[in-house]
Chains A and B, each alone.
Chain A
Amino acid sequence: MPRPAVVLAPPFSRDLSRVAIRRVPHYQSDIAAVLFETLSELNPPVLGKTVLLKPNFVGADPLGMTNTHPAVVGAAREAFLRLGAATVLVGEGPAMDRDTQAVVESIELRAYLGPLAKLFVDLNTDDVERVILKTRASRLSELYLPKTVLGADFLVSMPKMKTHHWAGVTLSLKNMFGVVPGACYGWPKNVLHWAGIDHAILDINAAVRPDFAIVDGIVGMEGNGPIQGISKPCGVLVVGDDPVAVDATCARVMGLLPQKIKYLARAATLLGHLDEEKIRQIGETISSTRTPFAVLDAFKQLRADG
């Protein structure tokens, strides 16, 4: 059964969003326990459902700063299964390397998930279905998107906490670029860049809005992200039921002003909450976990400290 249509609604008509910040000092921590406790509190409706985890996998990452760490993906899978999900798949369509097998081997995904053949979906080469874009923020009127994404009952965006040299930051909304299939649009998915990155982010998320987000901020990336930046230990997982609110919270933790991030400000008019008053904060506070990320000069206006 296809996913229900995304509800595009202004902030005043939306319920409060819930976002949890959890301290996780390193990847050897018991991440599965932290996530299970957090998910139990947020109680996402996954009982008997097919859950699709959408991490951000780019390629070899010896410093652990580029990809969503596979330990976080494995822990999320375990936590959703413990909550009663019938199936938890992992799907990704790497943007810069067409050899998805090489990407998942380089990060040793199997060591955390076990055998991948029936568990991992290469979203770049999945069968596709036409989706008419409702928002038309970019020049695109339609996209062909993977059937696995369109058919999942519960979609979880699992990005790395990173700066981005075109968009400012890449978090759970920007991570959805990875559902656009390379086998239709190439490597990289350059059609999205030419359509306008900020606008394309809005269009994609209005078509397939994640139901939930888990951001790997244990070690992030600052500076010239999303690939060539510098490792930034931040020691948090940010988890929530509204991807806009999760991204806004991450931006605040990164010492950035979410309302100045163009795509996030626009997403807040239709897809979720940006305003702190509309976000019920759980766990650690933003101020206690704030870890300012360096940004390129082109994005210095995003910095909360001016």
Chain B
Amino acid sequence: MGSALLQEICLPFLLGAQNSDHGWGFHAGSVSRVEPTVWALTALRECSALPQQQDSATRALQYLAAAQSTDGSWPSSPEIADGSWVTSLACWALLGRDGYLTNVTRGLDWLTQDVPGEARFLRRIMHRFMKNNKLASQNDAYFGWSWTPGTASWVEPTAYAIILILNSPPELLPPKITRRLRLAETMLYDRMCPGGGWNCGNPMVYGVAGEPQTVPTAWALLALRHRRERPEVHKSLQWLVENSRAIRSPGSLALALIALRAYQFPHPGLAESLHALYDDKEILWNVPDVAWGALALSSTAKWLDRNPVGTAA
């Protein structure tokens, strides 16, 4: 059943949605952007055996390389000048591909220098005297990566950066990255919701516990696979297992499946549930969702382990 969904729905949709510039937009027919392009090409490379599908993915690498800014970052949308979280994703997609070493190195340099707003000296001094500094309970001494430059650390962009760093060969990594990696991992533990799992990064607001969400939980777990002994990881996996049966959207369900598979956790019936969601033609047909669906159903997970875990840690 999983294979039929992959071959008859996911891959044809992705191939049909590729733009003439070789990138993908968030929806079929929309303007190409880095994030959907990364996921579509990753899915095609992982899941397809046909030359045409592999060619589409290879051409998409060229789109990504061309979309890189002169400072080494990638913008979230082609119209935007500033770099963003998609830099981690673009580097990850280009990592280990012939001819793109310089792109990856420049991206990693940009990520190393991109310090979130709360970690900046002036901000830390100001925060100490701010009226509302007790609103959230997190410890700002631990920081990761932001969505856009100069703003605060959040769970998803931090998880993407950790995954990239752990997948990168040590010789590509800037010297300061080890400290950033340690702080980022600690930030994820600090931002976990009290009952396990993560939301965007607000575990407590004015003393009230935040509700975890599937997407950030899956990404945080994927970023912490080399720390599977940590109690935070156990608790969050448990949350994901208990909540995965109630998921009613293809994107979240695919990511839950990917995370559970990465930890070799049993996931009975989830692939069938994913298929049932795609039987419903009235879903929003988002390119990353479909790509994650393909990756969730793939018999391999090479895309997650480009450079087997932990060499940079």
Residues of chain A at the chain B interface (Cβ within 8 Å): 59-60, 96-102, 104-106, 110, 115-117, 120, 122, 125-130, 144, 165-166, 183-188, 190-191, 193-194, 224, 227-228, 296, 298
The winner among A128, A144, A165, A190 for most chain B CB atoms within 10 A is A190
Nearest to A96 among chain B residues (CB) is B200
Chain A: minimal CB distance from B253 (Å): 9
| Contact across chains for B27 and A116 when beta carbons are under 8 A apart | no
Asked whether B299 is an interface residue with its Cβ less than 8 Å from the other chain, the reply is: no
| Contact across chains for A99 and B215 when beta carbons are under 8 A apart | yes
> Whole-angstrom distance between the alpha carbons of A104 and B33 in the complex?
24
Scoring B residues 288 to 302 as 1 if CB is less than 8 Å from chain A, else 0, what string do you get?
010000000000000
| Contact across chains for B80 and A184 when beta carbons are under 8 A apart | yes
Extra inter-chain contacts (9) besides given A105-B249, A188-B200, CB under 8 Å: A59-B213, A97-B213, A99-B213, A115-B282, A126-B30, A129-B79, A165-B206, A186-B151, A193-B151
Residues of chain B at the chain A interface (Cβ within 8 Å): 25-27, 30-31, 33, 35, 76-77, 79-80, 84-85, 117, 131-132, 135, 146-148, 150-152, 154, 156-157, 199-200, 205-206, 208, 210-211, 213-215, 247-252, 281-286, 289
Question: With a CB–CB cut-off of 8 A, which chain B residues contact A104?
Answer: 284
| Contact across chains for A130 and B79 when beta carbons are under 8 A apart | yes
Question: With a CB–CB cut-off of 8 A, which chain B residues contact A102?
Answer: 213-214, 247-249, 251-252
Question: With a CB–CB cut-off of 8 A, which chain A residues contact B200?
Answer: 96-97, 187-188
Chain B: minimal CB distance from A82 (Å): 24
Chain A: minimal CB distance from B295 (Å): 16
Nearest to A130 among chain B residues (CB) is B79
Chain B: minimal CB distance from A201 (Å): 17
Question: With a CB–CB cut-off of 8 A, which chain B residues contact A129?
Answer: 79
Chain A: minimal CB distance from B97 (Å): 24
| Contact across chains for A105 and B282 when beta carbons are under 8 A apart | no
| Contact across chains for B286 and A190 when beta carbons are under 8 A apart | no
| Contact across chains for A194 and B117 when beta carbons are under 8 A apart | yes
> Whole-angstrom distance between the alpha carbons of A193 and B135 in the complex?
14
A165 partner, pick from B35, B135, B247, B249, beta carbons under 8 A: B135
> Whole-angstrom distance between the alpha carbons of A224 and B154 in the complex?
21
Nearest to B149 among chain A residues (CB) is A191
| Contact across chains for B147 and A186 when beta carbons are under 8 A apart | yes
| Contact across chains for A190 and B146 when beta carbons are under 8 A apart | yes
> Whole-angstrom distance between the alpha carbons of A193 and B130 in the complex?
15
> Whole-angstrom distance between the alpha carbons of A110 and B200 in the complex?
26
> Whole-angstrom distance between the alpha carbons of A288 and B168 in the complex?
65
| Contact across chains for A101 and B250 when beta carbons are under 8 A apart | yes
> Whole-angstrom distance between the alpha carbons of A85 and B303 in the complex?
48
**CB pairs A–B below 8 angstroms (21 shown):** A96-B200, A99-B249, A101-B283, A101-B284, A101-B289, A102-B213, A102-B251, A105-B249, A125-B26, A126-B30, A128-B79, A129-B79, A144-B80, A183-B33, A186-B84, A186-B85, A188-B154, A190-B146, A224-B206, A227-B205, A298-B132
Chain B: minimal CB distance from A163 (Å): 12
A194 partner, pick from B80, B150, B154, B289, beta carbons under 8 A: B150
> Whole-angstrom distance between the alpha carbons of A94 and B195 in the complex?
23
| Contact across chains for A127 and B31 when beta carbons are under 8 A apart | yes
Question: With a CB–CB cut-off of 8 A, which chain B residues contact A130?
Answer: 79
Chain B: minimal CB distance from A164 (Å): 12
B77 partner, pick from A105, A106, A117, A144, beta carbons under 8 A: A144
Chain B: minimal CB distance from A83 (Å): 26
> Whole-angstrom distance between the alpha carbons of A74 and B80 in the complex?
35
Chain A: minimal CB distance from B99 (Å): 28
Q: With A184-B76, A190-B151, A194-B151 in contact, is A125–B146 under 8 Å at CB?
A: no
> Whole-angstrom distance between the alpha carbons of A162 and B133 in the complex?
22
Q: With A99-B252, A127-B31, A165-B205 in contact, is A116–B282 under 8 Å at CB?
A: yes
Nearest to A186 among chain B residues (CB) is B147
| Contact across chains for A224 and B247 when beta carbons are under 8 A apart | no
Q: With A102-B252, A117-B284 in contact, is A127–B208 under 8 Å at CB?
A: no
| Contact across chains for B206 and A183 when beta carbons are under 8 A apart | no
Question: With a CB–CB cut-off of 8 A, which chain B residues contact A126?
Answer: 26, 30
B205 partner, pick from A99, A122, A228, beta carbons under 8 A: A228
| Contact across chains for B286 and A122 when beta carbons are under 8 A apart | yes
